[in-house]
């Protein structure tokens, strides 16, 4: 079969149009995907309230003192929240005490989701940070440890997305655990 020059040109033009259309569809798909990913991050980001950690710690300590002195009824209370905390990484880590892990589990049983219990159980380490001139140890989800150590260097400023597990026990022990659920370098 012999094709005319006109037929060959049309075929080549159709191939070019098909390639252009395919490229446009792929490009459009990438833009839409990026927009949805950004929107998803923004919705997720809004779930974590930016706080003044010093203020939260003062409030929690004062409330616990009021309970201990009998100014507020009840001797046991717990609270759960999600916070964003801007912190400086101080480059140290240590094992999480069993009492901290147990406290987080207690609060999660009251306010959390059953599916999250294995995440708390797997927590092994906590890292040292400085916030407003005060040093704090924050436990970190086990799945984030390696990525954190690979991405964050000594004295880097980071935004920590934390779940706050607050528990005041019958024996007057007060726990304020800020479990790192995600992070990003500032």
Instruction: List pLDDT tens digits, range 59-106.
Output: 999 989 888 888 877 789 999 999 999 999 999 999 999 999 999 999
Specify the higher pLDDT residue, 113 or 91: 91
Tens digit of each residue's pLDDT (9 = 90 or more) over 20-66 = 555 444 443 444 444 444 456 577 678 899 999 999 999 999 989 88
Q: What is the 3-state secondary structure (H, E, C) of the chain?
A: CCCCHHHHHHHHHHHHHHHHHHHHHHHHHHHHHHHHHHHHHHHHHHCCEECCHHHHHHHHHHHHHHHHCCCCCCCCEEEEEEEEEEEEEEEEEEECCHHHHHHHHHHHHHHCCHHHHHHHHHCCEEEEEEECCEEEEEEECHHHHHHHHHHCCCCCEEEEEEEEEEEECCCCCEEEEEEEEEEEEC
Percent share of the chain, pLDDT over 90: 63
pTM for the structure as a whole: 0.76
The predicted structure's pLDDT at residue 29? 44
What's the mean pLDDT in 151-163?
Answer: 97
Of the ranges 7-21, 64-78, 172-186, the best mean pLDDT one: 172-186
pLDDT of 142 > 90? The answer is yes
């Amino acid at each position: 079969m012999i094709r005319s020059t006109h037929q060959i040109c049309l075929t080549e033009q159709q191939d070019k149009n098909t390639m252009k259309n395919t490229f446009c569809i792929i490009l459009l798909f990438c833009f839409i995907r990026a927009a949805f990913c950004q929107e998803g991050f923004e919705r997720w980001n809004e779930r974590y309230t930016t706080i003044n950690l010093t203020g939260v710690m003062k409030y929690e300590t004062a409330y616990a003192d009021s309970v201990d002195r009998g100014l507020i009824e009840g001797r046991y209370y717990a609270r759960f929240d999600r916070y964003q905390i801007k912190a400086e990484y101080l480059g140290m880590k240590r094992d999480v005490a069993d009492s901290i892990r147990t406290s987080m589990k207690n609060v999660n049983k009251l306010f959390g989701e059953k599916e999250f219990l294995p995440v708390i159980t797997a927590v092994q380490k906590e890292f040292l940070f400085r916030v407003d001139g005060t040093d704090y140890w924050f436990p970190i989800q086990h799945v984030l440890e390696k990525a954190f150590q690979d991405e964050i260097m000594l004295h880097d400023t980071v935004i920590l997305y934390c779940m706050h597990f607050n528990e005041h026990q019958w024996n007057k022990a007060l726990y304020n655990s800020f479990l790192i659920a995600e992070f990003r370098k500032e």
